[in-house]
């Protein structure tokens, strides 16, 4: 069941990207290892992909929404599994696991097409 509008997903994408980039520093696991770099790289990728996705809050509408959602799900899976894949689960795993699961959930519950009424096509305001 898809109930998250693409406009909301877009706003959450930008917030998630920034949170992933800042989390290692704010939460104290910025050790220049994979615990730090996996979320930072995925956060930067989310920001770039968001700027290029065909939804309301992007600059270049190049990436179709279903492709975006598939990449979100794959990135969420990688993030959630990264503490065990890259061997830092004994150091930190909760932020990676929680945000990864939330990413997968958002990918599975977001509309696959933008609502054109929200884009302003053909709308008149009084």
What is the model's pTM?
Answer: 0.90
pLDDT in tens, 92-112: 999 999 999 999 999 999 999
Boundaries of every domain in the chain: 6-111
Strand residues in 18-112 grouped as ranges (E): none
Is the pLDDT assigned to residue 53 strictly greater than 70? yes
Count of other CB atoms within 10 angstroms of residue 113: 12
Which of 42, 67, 43 is closest to 53 using CA atoms? 67
Is the pLDDT assigned to residue 83 strictly greater than 50? yes
Q: Please name the residue that has the structure tokens 């693409």.
A: 6
In percent, the amount of the chain with pLDDT more than 90 equals 90
Determine the average pLDDT of the residues in 71-96: 98
Which of 125, 124, 111 is closest to 7 using CA atoms? 111
Count of other CB atoms within 10 angstroms of residue 22: 14
Is the pLDDT assigned to residue 50 strictly greater than 50? yes
């Amino acid at each position: 069941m898809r109930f998250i509008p693409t406009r909301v997903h877009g706003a959450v994408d930008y917030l998630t990207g920034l949170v992933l980039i800042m989390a290692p520093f704010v939460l104290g696991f910025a050790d220049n290892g994979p615990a730090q770099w996996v979320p930072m790289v995925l956060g930067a990728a989310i920001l770039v992909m968001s700027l290029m996705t065909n939804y309301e809050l992007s600059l270049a509408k190049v990436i179709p929404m279903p492709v975006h959602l598939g990449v979100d799900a794959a990135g969420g899976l990688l993030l959630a599994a990264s503490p065990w894949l890259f061997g830092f689960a004994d150091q930190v795993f909760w932020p990676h696991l929680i945000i990864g699961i939330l990413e997968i959930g958002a990918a599975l519950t977001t509309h696959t097409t933008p609502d054109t009424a929200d884009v302003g096509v053909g709308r008149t305001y009084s």
